[in-house]
């Protein structure tokens, strides 16, 4: 492979390296994308970059995108250490063996190639695997060795690792090993699951000083050993494809998130109603039953914006059909719900039932839109409708077709689509690796297209809805890849009604947010298993602050609507759903911030306080934006919570008590209390509680003011379409000088609030 460095040349702003050794002319390359984003690339396949995540044209170093300040290659030179490439912010030294080292502008190492031996401390040989299998032990280790494509980089003692999408376990991923292979596994998710539904091959490393990210842009199967094999290094591996990664240098984690979402796109603003409460269940067996749910929500005075129709609504689980026997006339129930202020979202699976005469199947067959075996026959596996075929979403024509098919739902009055089973999941064993799909303009095997199947399905859905409705498409997905945030929101799939999964929800959602997927949520109350009243009450308290707030549950499990657990839990549910509706303008502002800078709505404390040792491994608290800290109870039976507050002055949301941060303390937390803290000087914009978004014209804005000094930027638009991109929005700059509040209109492009009401919080009385 790459042995001794011989020289380099620059072409089109890219630096290519020549080595001794046999590498078949595949010269490795370093490309400066911006001052802080560097691409490292070896074109093993000879196909160039074939990214599904980065969709803007990269035209070398001079490309500019959306006004972002593009970096440039400042200088390239060579000395005895190697080839030295400089940008304004980063120095890259490329040496023998294609070791690539990154330094910050002060010359401090940010990330170095690992040069020592690998430790192989948990190596599993094939014979050991066979031995373990005898008694039914699943091997928990991986076979350690070299991957065909691989990058091994150093870790320092203090480094913490975050991101990696929807992985289970804890916030800090260091010492664990993961794989990227979109997987539907209905077993209760454990801390050490290697794979889950989504593959977001992006990691963030927080160092004692500075931070960086690596986006390992290979959508085949990849491996992330985050310091399990060896304490002082991590391994990125892939079975096939190119070595193609983006190094992102930052002063802090926020810089890294901003750059990553610059590269792969930002989660766009959703319609305002999508931030409301959603009610769902698999197994609302009939129209009568689902109508009862809508009635129940209103009778119990529970604000709600959306009911989800799971696979039960389809005729024999055939996509783009309606079960007229059990669900009668789809259009009628949907329009009746609309009259109650409730939108309808329908589930959509990729698998198309094999059935002569079924129009979706026939159309797809006629046009060759389904994946094929290497022999050229349409590939069949089993999913809910029985024998089914798989749309080849990597083919732009298939995406267009699928997008147009959405008209069926749009015409029924459906308001958004929930894409499930798009790993793709299959009942008769996994799809073989050699099933033939399309990757845009060329055939590609399942092994390459698996991890982007959900991504491409989401893209097809998003584009179809955008075309058909002109509104911001609301798409939810179970499977996705890096960059999917441009098209879809997500949920974490089939969790269970167990306390471990309530605890897991926090780091899992926070890491998704750091990985670009900001609009995400867990099934509130848990999907599988039977929820308890206490668990439901605590889950609603986390759901209330999750970007996607949906109560969902599996068929056959105990009923899980908020009124199924008695009056106390119903009242608690109402309290937190009401709070959610009050906070809508605040959360909407955060969604706007996310579109602008990539900052997630729900954040781990470490994103805001990355110098604070006490938050680097904090799994049981999180922030909503940078002003609200939530410290939910996640232990069965607990009536108090050990709260940690970072440096600064905080106010207890419920009592107004002032607390100097940088300390831990015990907060009493009976079942109806989720401890919440607000930063001194904060202004929190609120709406009055209403049963659903748009119940009135959002004409009253309440500004909840906390003691201290601060400024706040509030954003307002029609909450529906893309007019804001043409300037149809208002922004307000709000100054809080210890209760003296001034509001300045900054941008004028939308109708005004009729009234802005300023409310002093309890903190002003309690000095």
Closest contact distance (angstroms) between CB of 554 and ligand MIG is: 6
Contact flag: residue 310 with ligand MIG (CB under 6 A): yes
- Nearest CB to ligand MIG, comparing residues 297 and 421: 421
- Nearest CB to ligand MIG, comparing residues 426 and 730: 426
Q: Which of residues 28-57 bind ligand MIG (CB under 6 A)?
A: none
DSSP string, 548-607: SEEE---TTSPP-SGGGG-HHHHHHHHHHHHHHHHTHHHHHHHHHHHHHH---SEE-HHH
- Nearest CB to ligand MIG, comparing residues 39 and 189: 189
Closest contact distance (angstroms) between CB of 421 and ligand MIG is: 6
Contact flag: residue 306 with ligand MIG (CB under 6 A): no
Residue number of the CB atom closest to ligand MIG: 282
Among 330, 493, 526, 547, binds ligand MIG (CB under 6 A): 493
Q: How distant, in Å, are the alpha carbons of 229, 270, 593, 703, 741 from that of 713?
A: 46, 19, 10, 12, 13
- Nearest CB to ligand MIG, comparing residues 218 and 477: 477
Contact flag: residue 601 with ligand MIG (CB under 6 A): no
Beginning with the edge strand found earlier in the chain, give each strand of the sheet holding 649-652 in spatial order. 602-603, 622-624, 628-630, 676-679, 649-652, 658-660
Closest contact distance (angstroms) between CB of 527 and ligand MIG is: 6
Report CA Rg, the chain: 26
DSSP string, 688-718: ---SSTTSS---EEEEEE-SSEEEEEEEEE-
Q: Which of residues 202-261 bind ligand MIG (CB under 6 A)?
A: none
How many C-alpha atoms does 21 have within 13 Å on its Cβ side? 16
Closest contact distance (angstroms) between CB of 494 and ligand MIG is: 5
Give the span between the Cα atoms of 83 and 95, in whole angstroms.
Answer: 6
- Nearest CB to ligand MIG, comparing residues 527 and 536: 527
Q: Any bridge partners for residue 246, and if so which?
A: 39, 215
Q: Is 420 a catalytic residue?
A: yes
Contact flag: residue 347 with ligand MIG (CB under 6 A): yes
Total binding residues toward ligand MIG, as defined by CB under 6 A? 11
Q: Which of residues 546-565 bind ligand MIG (CB under 6 A)?
A: 552
- Nearest CB to ligand MIG, comparing residues 252 and 522: 522
Strands 523-524 and 549-551: parallel
> Which of 720, 690, 665 lies closest to 269, judged by CA?
720
| Number of alpha helices (DSSP H) and beta strands (DSSP E) in the chain | 15, 45
- Nearest CB to ligand MIG, comparing residues 326 and 733: 326
- Nearest CB to ligand MIG, comparing residues 478 and 486: 478
Q: Is 382 a catalytic residue?
A: no
Q: Is 660 a catalytic residue?
A: no
Strands 709-717 and 700-705: unpaired
* DSSP conformation class of 539: H
458 within 8 A of 488, measured Cβ to Cβ: yes
Q: How distant, in Å, are the alpha carbons of 52, 53, 54, 215, 217 from that of 49?
A: 9, 11, 10, 13, 9
Q: Which of residues 521-540 bind ligand MIG (CB under 6 A)?
A: 527
Q: Which residues in 421-430 are b (16+ Cβ under 10 Å) and which e?
A: bbbbbbeeeb
Give the span between the Cα atoms of 386 and 394, in whole angstroms.
Answer: 23
Closest contact distance (angstroms) between CB of 311 and ligand MIG is: 4
- Nearest CB to ligand MIG, comparing residues 278 and 552: 552
Q: Say which of 35, 494, 610, 620 is annotated catalytic.
A: 494
Beginning with the edge strand found earlier in the chain, give each strand of the sheet holding 109-111 in spatial order. 75-79, 82-86, 90-94, 100-104, 109-111
Contact flag: residue 494 with ligand MIG (CB under 6 A): yes
Contact flag: residue 282 with ligand MIG (CB under 6 A): yes
Closest contact distance (angstroms) between CB of 106 and ligand MIG is: 48
- Nearest CB to ligand MIG, comparing residues 159 and 310: 310
Closest contact distance (angstroms) between CB of 564 and ligand MIG is: 17
- Nearest CB to ligand MIG, comparing residues 490 and 547: 490
Q: Say which of 31, 104, 244, 420 is annotated catalytic.
A: 420
377: Cβ contacts below 8 Å, ≥ 6 apart: none
**φ, ψ dihedrals at 303, nearest 5°:** -55, 140
Kind and range of the H or E element at 237? strand 233-238
> Which of 139, 157, 159, 149 lies closest to 180, judged by CA?
149
Contact flag: residue 423 with ligand MIG (CB under 6 A): no
Q: Which of residues 426-485 bind ligand MIG (CB under 6 A)?
A: 478
Closest contact distance (angstroms) between CB of 122 and ligand MIG is: 32
Give the span between the Cα atoms of 292 and 594, in whole angstroms.
Answer: 37
Give the span between the Cα atoms of 767 and 72, in whole angstroms.
Answer: 53
Cα separation of the two ends of the chain: 69
61 within 8 A of 87, measured Cβ to Cβ: no
Q: Any bridge partners for residue 382, and if so which?
A: 387
- Nearest CB to ligand MIG, comparing residues 261 and 461: 461
> Which of 205, 201, 153, 143 lies closest to 174, judged by CA?
205
> Which of 537, 444, 519 lies closest to 477, judged by CA?
519
Q: Which of residues 135-164 bind ligand MIG (CB under 6 A)?
A: none
Q: Say which of 184, 244, 423, 534 is annotated catalytic.
A: 423
Q: Which residues bind ligand MIG (CB under 6 A)?
A: 282, 310-311, 347, 420-421, 478, 493-494, 527, 552
Catalytic site positions: 420, 423, 494
């Amino acid at each position: 492979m790459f042995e001794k460095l011989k020289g380099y040349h620059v072409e089109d702003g890219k630096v290519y390296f020549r080595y001794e050794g046999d590498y078949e002319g595949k010269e490795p390359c370093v490309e400066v994308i911006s001052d802080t984003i560097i691409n490292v690339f070896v074109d093993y396949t000879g196909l160039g970059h074939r990214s599904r995540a980065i969709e803007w044209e990269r035209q070398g170093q001079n490309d500019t995108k959306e006004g972002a300040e593009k970096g440039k290659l400042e200088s390239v030179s060579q000395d005895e250490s190697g080839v030295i490439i400089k940008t304004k912010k980063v120095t890259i030294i490329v040496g023998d063996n294609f070791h690539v080292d990154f330094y910050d502008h002060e010359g401090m190492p940010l990330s170095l190639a690992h040069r020592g031996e690998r430790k192989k401390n948990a190596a599993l040989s094939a014979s050991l695997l066979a031995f373990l299998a005898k008694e039914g032990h699943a091997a928990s280790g991986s076979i350690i060795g070299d991957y065909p494509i691989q990058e091994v980089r150093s870790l320092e003692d203090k480094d913490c690792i975050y991101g990696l999408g929807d992985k289970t376990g804890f916030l800090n991923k260091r010492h664990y090993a993961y794989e990227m292979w979109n997987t539907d596994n209905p077993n209760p998710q454990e801390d050490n699951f290697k794979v889950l539904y989504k593959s977001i091959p992006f990691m963030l490393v927080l160092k004692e000083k500075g931070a960086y990210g690596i986006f390992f842009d290979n959508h085949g199967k990849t491996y992330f050993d985050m310091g399990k094999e060896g304490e002082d290094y991590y391994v990125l591996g892939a079975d096939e494809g190119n070595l193609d990664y983006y190094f992102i240098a930052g002063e802090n984690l926020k810089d890294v998130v901003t750059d990553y979402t610059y590269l792969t796109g930002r989660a766009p603003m959703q319609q305002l109603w999508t931030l409301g409460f959603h009610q769902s269940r698999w197994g609302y067996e009939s129209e009568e039953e689902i109508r009862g749910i809508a009635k129940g929500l209103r009778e119990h005075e529970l604000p709600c914006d959306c009911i989800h129709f799971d696979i039960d609504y389809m005729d024999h689980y055939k996509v783009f059909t309606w079960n007229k026997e059990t669900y009668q006339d789809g259009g009628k129930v949907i329009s009746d719900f609309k009259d109650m202020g409730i939108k309808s979202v329908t589930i959509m699976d990729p698998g198309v039932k094999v059935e002569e005469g079924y129009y979706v199947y026939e159309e797809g067959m006629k046009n060759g839109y389904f994946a094929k075996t290497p022999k050229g026959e349409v590939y069949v596996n089993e999913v809910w409708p029985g024998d089914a075929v798989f749309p080849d979403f990597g083919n732009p024509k298939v995406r267009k077709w699928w997008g147009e098919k959405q008209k069926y739902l749009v015409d029924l009055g459906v308001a958004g689509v929930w894409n499930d089973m798009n790993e793709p999941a299959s009942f008769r064993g996994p799809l073989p690796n050699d099933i033939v799909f399309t990757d845009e303009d060329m055939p590609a095997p399942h092994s390459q297209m698996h991890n982007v199947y959900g991504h491409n399905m989401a893209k097809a859905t998003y584009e179809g809805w955008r075309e058909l409705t002109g509104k911001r498409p609301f798409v939810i997905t179970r499977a996705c890849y890096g960059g999917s945030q441009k098209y879809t929101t997500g949920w974490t799939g089939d969790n269970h009604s167990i306390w471990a999964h309530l605890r897991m929800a926090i780091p899992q959602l926070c890491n998704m947010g750091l990985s670009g997927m900001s609009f995400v949520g867990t099934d509130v109350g848990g999907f599988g298993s039977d929820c308890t009243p206490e668990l439901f009450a605590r889950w609603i308290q986390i759901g209330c602050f999750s970007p996607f707030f949906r109560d969902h549950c599996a068929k056959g499990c105990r009923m899980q609507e908020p009124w199924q657990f008695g009056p106390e839990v119903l009242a608690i549910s109402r309290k937190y759903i009401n709070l959610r509706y009050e906070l809508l303008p605040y959360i909407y502002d955060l969604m706007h911030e996310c579109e602008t800078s990539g900052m997630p709505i729900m954040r781990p404390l470490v994103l805001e306080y990355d110098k604070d040792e006490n938050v680097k491994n904090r799994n049981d608290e999180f922030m909503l934006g940078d002003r609200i800290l939530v410290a939910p109870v996640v232990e069965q039976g607990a009536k108090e919570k050990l709260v940690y507050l970072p440096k600064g002055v905080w106010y207890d949301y419920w009592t107004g008590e002032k607390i100097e941060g940088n300390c831990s303390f015990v907060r009493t937390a009976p079942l109806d209390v989720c401890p919440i803290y607000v930063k001194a000087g904060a202004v929190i914009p609120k709406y009055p509680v209403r049963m659903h978004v748009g119940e009135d014209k959002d004409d009253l804005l309440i500004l909840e003011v906390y003691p201290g000094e601060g400024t706040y930027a509030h954003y307002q638009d029609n909450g529906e379409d893309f007019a804001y991109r043409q300037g149809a929005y208002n922004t307000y700059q709000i100054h809080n000088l210890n209760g003296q509040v001034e509001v300045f209109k900054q941008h004028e492009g939308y109708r005004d609030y009729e009234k802005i009401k300023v409310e002093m919080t309890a903190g002003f009385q309690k000095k």
